[in-house]
Structure formats: C-alpha cells, structure tokens
C-alpha cells in the first residue's frame, strides 16, 4: 500500500532528526574526549598557572588556586573545589618555602600520591642566609623561573608522552623570552649598580639584587609588613628617614598589602620626590607572566633614570 505524502514527510523528518541527534552526540562525545585528554594541572597561584599555560598550551586543563590580587597566599584557606581539583591533578606546581603550605596539606588530605609536584623553591636551590630568613618569592628570579619551566615541561611530558616534543618546544620558546628580562636587569646594573633603594616587603628583592641595587630597608620593617605585624616606632622612623632624607633612589612597594605603615612610607617618598615603583605578588588582570615582569623591570629602570 503506497504511503501518503504526509506519512513520507513524517518518516523523512524522523530520519533527519535522528541523523542530527547522532551528529550532536558524536560532537559532544568528541568534545568530552578532548577535555578528558588534557593534563589536569593545579597551580598554587595564577603566576605559575600562566607559566604552565605557556608550556602546555591547549593540552592542559589548569586550575590556579589563587588568582585574585586581593588574596594573601600566606593566609589563604583553600575550599572544597580546590581540594577536588588537587585530588585529580597529574601535575601540581607550588611555590614552596612556606608561601603556599595549603597545597601540601590538601594533597595529603586528598590522598593524591600520584601527582607530580613541582616545588619552585626547591628547584631554585635557594636557602635562607645565615642569621636571616629565606626570601620565598622566587618567581621574581628569572633563572629560577627558567628551571621551573623545564621541570613543568618534563612533568607534562611524563603525563602526556605523545605531546612531549610540543612541551619541550614551548618551554624553549618561553625561556627565550626570559633572556631580554635578564638583559634589562644587566643594563640597570651597568647604569645604576650600587644605587640604594627601599622596599616595603621582600617580594621584589631578587629583581632588585639582579639589577645590582642595594636594599637599605631595615629587615625588621619589611619582615613585619610581610607577616602582617606592627612595625616598632623606632624601626618605622628609621625607615621613613631613608625616604625623607633622600638616602635611596626609589621605593619599591607591594601594592597588594597596603596598610597605614606602608602608606606612610609611600607618602614620605612622594614628599621627598623619590619615585615609587608598585609591584604585586600575583598576576594583574589582563597580564601574562612575561608582560607583567617586563613592566616591573621597565618601571624600575624608569624610576632610577629620573
């Protein structure tokens, strides 16, 4: 019995919908497979997250625990989402040195013993000076960052051997971009080597030292600010005198931990006509690591040239 026109149309429509549904399912399945094929990586801050992205490109799925410039890594309390991401991570990048201890605590509680953990401070080989404290802000030290990039490349290659060549190529390209930053520091050292500067916290010290500059800030001042403690009146006055007496060429301060005492230092510098160079601990919005550090080194050079 021949089919009516309406019956034929109904069958064609059903077949078309089934075909479309099949295509949609195939696409969704491919997308899911692609997402699952990426190496899950957790970085303690967006600084290391961005470095991982430079090396892993679209082969990695990155969770940066701290990405808000207003968050203080020293006192950060991780949440259940962070815990879940760490439990699934194949590669973890932490700073170490007491900076982001929450990562180790969560790894231990999450029982993820298989993740490859890259500790930047250990990679750096830096230790506390005799009678002093370790400066854990090693992402301001470009040779350390280059070594961390190599470790990230190796870890990603172990997790995803098929893309090992791409990871090595990207790490090489990333390290090549660090060379101009070191050249800028060398230029500052040549032109301003030995110049005295003041700081509010140890955050930029590796950059300052590589640039041949001398930090004149009493360590009691910068350590107290970093720990969130009050600076004694004597040390505060001694620190402010460096600025009001024009005994330094610039003030480099951590803009993420501004408070009454650091504001006094900034005001004293501005009143004395001393250039102020703000730096941060985490990536500013819209910046990548290389662009951020280029702006920091350029700002330091510009301040000393005034």
Q: Is residue 136 part of a domain?
A: yes
Residues 52 and 145 reside in one and the same domain: yes
Residue 20 lies in a domain: no
Clarify whether residues 171 and 58 are in a common domain.
Answer: yes
Order of strands across the sheet with 116-119? 60-66, 39-45, 91-94, 116-119
Domain boundary among 132, 152, 178: 178
Q: Are 216 and 242 in contact (CB under 8 A)?
A: yes
- Of the candidates 127, 154, 178, which is a domain's last residue? 178
Considering 116, 144, 178, which residue would you say is the last residue of a domain? 178
SS3 track for the chain: CCCCHHHHHHHHHHHHHHHHHHHHHHHHHHHHHHHHHCEEEEEEEHHHHHHHHHHHHHHEEEEEEECCCCCCHHHCCCCHHHHHHHHHCCEEEECCCCCCCHHHHHHHHHCCCCCEEEEHHHHHCCCCCCCCCCCCCHHHCHHHHHHHHHHHHHHHHHHCHHHHHHHHHHHHHHHHHHHHHHHHHHHHHHHHCCCEEEECCCCCHHHHHHCCCEECCCHHHHHHHHHCCCCCHHHHHHHHHHHHCCCCCCEEEEHHHCCHHHHHHHHHHHHCCCCEEEECCCCCCCCCHHHHHHHHHHHHHHHHHC
Mean pLDDT of successive 10-residue stretches along the chain, which has 306 residues = 42 40 46 67 97 98 87 74 92 95 87 91 94 93 98 98 98 98 98 98 97 97 91 96 98 90 96 96 93 98 95
Total count of residues recorded for the chain? 306
149 assigned to some structural domain? yes
Q: Whole-angstrom Cα distance, residue 50 to residue 202?
A: 22
Do 294 and 240 fall into the same domain?
yes
pLDDT score, position 302: 98
The per-residue pLDDT for 109 is 83
Domain check: are 213 and 291 in the same one?
A: yes
Please write the tens of the pLDDT for every residue from 276-303: 999 999 999 889 999 999 999 999 999 9
Q: Do 51 and 152 belong together in one domain?
A: yes
At residue 36, the pLDDT reads: 60
Q: Are residues 42 and 165 in the same domain?
A: yes
198 lies in the same domain as 266: yes
Would you say residue 262 lies in a domain?
Answer: yes
Q: Which domain holds residue 220?
A: 193-305
Asked if 46 and 163 sit in the same domain, the reply is yes
Is 158 domain-assigned?
A: yes
- Asked if residues 243 and 265 have their Cβ atoms less than 8 Å apart, the reply is yes
* Same domain, residue pair 169 and 116: yes
CATH number at residue 103: 3.40.50.1980
Same domain as 245, residue 216: yes
C-beta neighbour count of 21 within 10 angstroms: 10
Average pLDDT, the chain: 88
For 88-141, the pLDDT digits (tens) are: 999 999 999 999 999 998 888 877 889 999 999 999 999 998 888 899 999 999
The pLDDT score that the predictor gives to residue 67 is 85
The predicted pLDDT at position 20 comes to 38
Q: Does residue 183 form part of some domain? A: no
Residue 30 counted as domain residue:
no
Place of tokens 């506390």: 128
Number of structural domains, the chain? 2
* Domain contains 207: yes
Do residues 88 and 54 both lie within one domain?
A: yes
- The four Cα atoms 72, 113, 97, 292 give a dihedral, to 10 degrees, of -60
Handedness of CA 121, 124, 125, 128 (dihedral sign): negative
What pLDDT does 74 receive? 66
Do residues 208 and 111 share a domain?
no
pTM: 0.86
């Amino acid at each position: 019995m021949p089919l009516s026109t309406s019956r034929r149309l109904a069958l064609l429509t059903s077949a078309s919908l089934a075909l479309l549904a099949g295509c949609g399912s195939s696409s969704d399945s491919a997308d899911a497979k692609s997402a699952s094929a990426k190496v899950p990586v957790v970085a303690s801050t967006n600084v290391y997250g961005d470095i991982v992205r430079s090396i892993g490109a679209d082969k990695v799925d990155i969770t940066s625990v701290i990405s808000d410039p207003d968050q203080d890594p020293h006192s950060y309390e991780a949440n259940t989402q962070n815990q879940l991401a760490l439990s699934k991570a194949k590669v973890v990048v932490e700073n170490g040195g007491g900076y982001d201890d929450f990562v180790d605590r969560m790894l231990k509680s999450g029982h993820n013993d298989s993740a490859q953990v890259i500790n930047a401070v250990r990679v750096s080989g830096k230790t506390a000076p005799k009678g002093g404290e370790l400066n854990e802000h090693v992402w301001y030290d470009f040779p350390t960052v280059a070594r961390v990039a190599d470790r990230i490349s190796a870890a990603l290659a172990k997790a995803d051997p098929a893309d090992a060549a791409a990871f090595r190529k990207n790490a090489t390209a990333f390290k090549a971009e660090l060379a101009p930053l070191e050249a800028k520091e060398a230029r500052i050292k040549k032109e301003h080597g030995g110049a005295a500067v003041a700081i509010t916290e140890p955050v930029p010290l590796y950059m300052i030292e590589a640039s041949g500059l001398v930090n004149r800030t009493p360590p009691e001042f910068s350590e107290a600010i970093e720990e969130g403690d009050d600076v004694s009146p004597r040390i505060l006055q001694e620190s402010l005198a460096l600025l009001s007496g024009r005994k330094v060429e610039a003030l480099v301060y951590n803009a993420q931990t501004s408070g009454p005492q650091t504001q006094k230092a900034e005001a004293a510098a501005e009143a004395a006509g001393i250039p102020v160079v703000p730096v941060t601990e985490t990536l500013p919005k819209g910046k990548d690591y290389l662009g951020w550090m280029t702006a920091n080194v350029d700002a330091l050079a510009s301040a000393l040239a005034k």
